[in-house]
Amino acid sequence: MLLKSPETMYPVEKINLLKDMLVQHHETIAVAESVTAGHVQAALSQATGAAQFFQGGITAYNLGQKARHLFVEPIEAEACNSVSPAVAAQMALQVARNFSASYGLGITGYAAKMPEKHIDTVFAFYAIACNDQVIKAGRITVGEQEGMEVQLYYTEHLLDALLECCQHTYTSR
């Protein structure tokens, strides 16, 4: 039984708009995510003709995998449980390199409170890289929601940020 269709789970119209802009400018994208657990990749794959712009991605859920595949600096990442603006930036920059993509997205954070680690609010850090530099980064916070609802919120927020970057970049060229 399907709980939600991709059209209601992900902002497909927005994703197709992103696809159109990226394809028109011969640019591609890759994703490195942890807190969203693959939702950003799943969302991008919903675009018509996704292979024209979506190179792929990696879901690296722990420090070991982030260090191994995304070259996240392990000492710094260990100090912040792999949740910081610097970690998100390292993820975005490296995934673009790994997948030979024009744009790299990185997102890391918490989808649920973790009292044992003194995480009392749910938040994520994201970064968008292009041409080997971070062009946009930020922190996303949510209210009392947890779990998949938060992951989907983060996914849409990151796609909105990417759309804003693309619109700005392509209108200023």
40-70, pLDDT tens digit by residue?
A: 999 999 999 999 999 999 999 999 999 999 9
* Inside any domain, residue 1: no
Q: How many structural domains comprise the chain?
A: 1
Contact 158, 129 (CB under 8 A): no
* Inside any domain, residue 136: yes
Mean pLDDT throughout 27-38? 98
Which of 122, 107, 112 is closest to 160 using CA atoms? Answer: 107
Query: How far are the Cα atoms of 9, 50, 118, 158 from residue 134, in angstroms, in the given order?
Result: 28, 24, 29, 14
Q: What percent of the chain has pLDDT over 70?
A: 95
* Inside any domain, residue 42: yes
Query: Does residue 1 carry a pLDDT above 70?
Result: no
Q: What percent of the chain has pLDDT over 90?
A: 86
Query: Does residue 95 carry a pLDDT above 80?
Result: yes
Q: Residue 149: pLDDT band by 50, 70, 90 thresholds?
A: very high
CA 158 from centre of chain = 6
* Inside any domain, residue 49: yes
* Inside any domain, residue 5: no
Q: Tokens for 84?
A: 């910081």
Mean pLDDT throughout 134-144? 95
Helix (H) or strand (E) holding 89: helix 85-98
CATH number, domain at 81?
3.90.950.20
* Inside any domain, residue 15: yes
Task: Please provide the DSSP assignment of 31-69 as one string.
Answer: EEESTTTTHHHHHHTTSTTGGGTEEEEEE--SHHHHHHH
Q: Strand order of the sheet with strand 103-109? A: 54-59, 29-33, 103-109, 123-130, 133-141
Q: What is the pLDDT of residue 117?
A: 87
Task: Identify the domain containing residue 29 by its residue range.
Answer: 10-171
* Inside any domain, residue 148: yes
What's phi and psi for 130, nearest 5 deg? Answer: -150, 135
* Inside any domain, residue 164: yes
